[in-house]
């Protein structure tokens, strides 16, 4: 029901000239509608404050010429590319560490002399390594997204 309320409140600004009605049934369920409903009351919603977009920047607004901006973009691209290269190297190291940990499971000898896997210790060892792999993967995705946003 909260989703309907949220949706109704999101739609309200779009329906600037529409009337909104609210009804509460015997079970306490709230219903919003743009048309009159039985037992509903018309809501008097104040319009949301809005601003007109600026057509022309105000005087004194700092401007950057195209060449300066291209230089800044190139510098940003280089920084992001360096970070991406570093993250890719760190990801490879993290994957190697994880593979090494996964290939060496934790074991112990039982009282009967048999060897058993210590699953809890294995997970304790591999979980942080998997988190490192996930972290570097997410960082790489974020850096690639930022690089793709830069003008070519």
- Give the model confidence (pLDDT) of 63-110 as tens digits: 889 899 999 999 999 999 999 999 999 999 999 999 999 998 888 888
| Count of Cβ atoms closer than 10 Å to residue 28 Cβ | 7
Residue-level pLDDT at 82: 97
Alpha helices in the chain (DSSP H): 2-11, 66-103, 119-149
**pTM flag (> 0.85):** no
Which residue in 91, 85, 83, 101 sits closest to 132, CA to CA?
91
- For 2, list phi and psi in degrees, rounded to 5: -65, -30
Residue-level pLDDT at 9: 55
Between CA 1 and CA 21 the distance in angstroms is 16
- Give the model confidence (pLDDT) of 25-42 as tens digits: 888 889 988 888 888 898
What's the whole-number mean pLDDT along residues 107-116?
84
Between CA 124 and CA 107 the distance in angstroms is 13
Residue-level pLDDT at 2: 53
Does 143 have pLDDT greater than 70?
yes
Residue-level pLDDT at 17: 63
CB 9 within 8 A of CB 45: no
Average pLDDT, the chain: 86
The two structure tokens encoding residue 146: 């930022």
């Amino acid at each position: 029901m909260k989703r309907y309320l949220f949706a109704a409140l999101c739609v309200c600004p779009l329906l600037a000239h529409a009337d909104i009605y609210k009804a509460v049934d015997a079970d306490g369920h709230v219903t919003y509608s743009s048309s009159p409903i039985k037992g509903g009351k018309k809501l008097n919603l104040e319009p949301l404050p809005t601003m007109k977009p600026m057509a022309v920047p105000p005087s004194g607004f700092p401007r950057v010429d195209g060449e300066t901006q291209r230089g800044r973009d190139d510098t940003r691209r280089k920084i992001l590319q360096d970070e991406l290269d570093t993250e890719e190297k760190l990801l490879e190291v993290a994957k190697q560490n994880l593979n090494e940990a996964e290939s060496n499971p934790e074991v112990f000898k039982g009282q009967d002399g048999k060897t058993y896997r210590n699953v809890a210790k294995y997970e304790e060892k591999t979980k942080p390594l998997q988190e490192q792999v996930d972290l570097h993967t997410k960082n790489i995705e974020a850096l690639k997204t930022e690089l793709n946003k830069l003008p070519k």
